[in-house]
Amino acid sequence: MAGKDFWQQKELLDLYMEGNQLVKADALCQELLAACRLAAGGKGQEAVLPDGWQEIQLELVQINAAIVIETGDMLRADEALARLSAAGEQPYSIFLQARIYWMQGRCFEMLSLLEEYFQVDSGRGEVFFAQDSSYWQVNADIKERILNLLAHGYKFYGLSQLACSCYLQSSRVVEDFPVRLLEYSNYLFNAHYLFMPPREYLQAHLGYGRLFDRYGNVRQLRHNKRLHQQHRKIRLGYLSPDFRQHVVLLFIWAMFTCYDRDAFEVYCFSNSPAEDKYTEYIKAHTDFWCNLSGLDAMQAAKVIYNKEIDILVELAGHSQNNGLPILAYKPAPVQMCGIGYFATTGLSSVDYFLSDRYLITDSCDSMSGESCVGSEEARIAESDCFVEKLLVLPHSHFCYVPLAEMPDLQGAPCRKNGYITFGSFNNFTKVNDTVLCVWADILHRLPESRLLLKCSLLGDREGRELVRQKLLSLGISEERFELRGFSQPYLTEYYDIDIALDTFPYPGGGTTCDALYMGVPVITLGDGSHGGNFGISLLKNIGLDACCAASVEEYIEKAALLAGDMELLEALHLGIRNMLMASPVMDKAGYMQELQQGYRLIWQRYLAK
């Protein structure tokens, strides 16, 4: 390859990478790397390659690794690691090595590499870099990536304070506004794992809205009320990344399959490229479908705006791939958030947040608004912890619809074991040290009982050892606990649990519903916050008030009390599914009637202004 051709091909490679044409970029990158290898081998190529090709070779090795990461090519991951290692230590190369470790599930090695090379100090509850760290040599984009990867690792091991520190720092260092928003949303979502005072929590969310004021330059779209009044039906828009196999889909399925087609039109806007059989079903059973992935927030907002949506419901909040930047442009005259998130968005452009009677303090001291009485109808309320008004449903704010084939029920395992097995299948990030200590107190109170934990962390060697040592330090002997890594299908493993223990302050969602559907009673602790009361709402809606606690002491007492009645446990294991199926939580028709009454209420409020 002649020197002139080399540079032309390198420029073409850069264009392919910029345009995300990874297949073409990969082929050309391999060709250029081959030319460099020939030159390095002294086979005549060194005479025709341009001066400085050695420096270009490092960049090519990095591009090759980036392509492997972006395409998730596990077969070439080790080869990419070897090339990076051979090319020598360099900050971006170290990041790429760590990123491939993460892709391979080698989380501990990833964290160790980043912490050692970039001289990370995490001993004070926050992440700091030494003054002479190579971190300070890289640009803002690479800083953001390093912090993001550290955050993922800390989150995986349940080190939520450190994860939040990294996400918040990354939102501050990055210059790209959409990435800044993404990292701040990551920070807010992970703050739910912490014991944070409500006021501090609210202020953190208000910070998201201030990002638009400071950096966004967002001009909201204007709406012609007369145009919307001409619609024969109310046009509902649903915006979500989860119109596919995902835990959130279990809670929103009724919205697309059981709505009143005489009164509403449903428009679905997906902001994720992932689609599957559930996506196809939704496409076929709603009035309009559009995939917005690949569009920026303003472009996506204009697509929604042009469909004259009356009420736009965003279903992700600050979770992954959310649509909040789109809502900032106000593409619909009435906008609401809910289901996939449990706290305020912090955006003034969002008018309502979906709630229910059990998620809020049901008194006029803590909420005000219309229809404060009349608990059998949706009502509007206000909360000091929300920018939005709350649309409060009289029963459950979601409807649980199991989409997979569910196993048959079995009785309580204590009947054959002779002892009680407590358990949790929640993401271990929710299992903070306070939760573990409370669980240990329960086991100490019931010396014959056991604990079964199952999650992805426990499939990681270092993660498993971390949890093992924590339990041992709490005085729980090894024969009294069992640690299982995540696996599919997993529902039949609920046969091994007598009583599920919920986490706090971030309670279970899908795992709690799965446990109940499999007949396993769940002990939950509500802290009075909107998100912290999720388990309370679920259990009260199905008639299991006796499993709801308002304090740690009550949580322990109720777990011990239930464990002392094996006959009751047997009856619950065989009866809870029927309770759940007969409750508002799984009443699709009843849920949609209440939700649609709420939609009419907020739409009439808009028209009456």
**Distance in angstroms (rounded) separating the CA atoms of residues 587 and 581:** 7
Q: Is residue 86 within 8 Å of 40, Cβ to Cβ?
A: no
- Position 56 scores a pLDDT of 82
Query: Residues of the chain whose pLDDT is less than 50?
Result: 44-47, 362-374
For every residue of 25-68, DSSP letters joined together read HHHHHHHHHHHHHHHHTTSSGGGTSPTTHHHHHHHHHHHHHHHH
Environment class of 127 (CB within 10 Å of its CB; exposed 0-12, middle 13-18, buried 19+):
buried
Cα of 284 vs its chain's centroid, Å: 27
Q: Residue 299 — φ and ψ, nearest 5°?
A: -65, -45
The total number of residues written for the chain in this structure: 609
Amino acid at 359: L
Report the Cα–Cα distance between both ends of the chain, in Å, rounded.
71
Q: Is residue 394 within 8 Å of 378, Cβ to Cβ?
A: yes
- Bridging pattern class, strands 120-121 and 128-129: antiparallel
| Domains and their CATH numbers in the chain | 3-216 (1.25.40.10), 227-399+589-608 (3.40.50.11380), 414-586 (3.40.50.2000)
- Position 374 scores a pLDDT of 44
**Distance in angstroms (rounded) separating the CA atoms of residues 223 and 351:** 15
Residue in 450, 454, 451 with CA at minimum distance from that of residue 464:
454
Q: Is residue 169 within 8 Å of 145, Cβ to Cβ?
A: no
Please count the helices (runs of H) and the strands (runs of E) in the chain. Answer: 23, 16
Q: Residue 252 — φ and ψ, nearest 5°?
A: -120, 0
Asked whether the CA dihedral 302, 303, 308, 313 is positive or negative, the reply is negative
**pTM value?**
0.93
Give the number of C-alpha atoms closer than 13 A to the C-alpha of residue 405, restricted to the C-beta side: 1
**Distance in angstroms (rounded) separating the CA atoms of residues 176 and 376:** 47
Strands in 389-393's sheet, in edge-to-edge order, are 288-291, 264-270, 234-240, 311-314, 334-337, 352-356, 389-393, 379-381
Environment class of 460 (CB within 10 Å of its CB; exposed 0-12, middle 13-18, buried 19+):
buried
**Distance in angstroms (rounded) separating the CA atoms of residues 369 and 103:** 49
Asked whether the CA dihedral 16, 22, 28, 30 is positive or negative, the reply is positive
Q: Is residue 285 within 8 Å of 254, Cβ to Cβ?
A: no
Residue in 226, 209, 227 with CA at minimum distance from that of residue 218:
209
**Distance in angstroms (rounded) separating the CA atoms of residues 456 and 159:** 15
Give the number of C-alpha atoms closer than 13 A to the C-alpha of residue 599, restricted to the C-beta side: 24
- Position 367 scores a pLDDT of 43
The first and second tokens of residue 123, run together, are: 């001993």
Residue in 358, 290, 301, 299 with CA at minimum distance from that of residue 324:
301
**Distance in angstroms (rounded) separating the CA atoms of residues 70 and 238:** 29
Residue in 530, 433, 537, 450 with CA at minimum distance from that of residue 157:
433
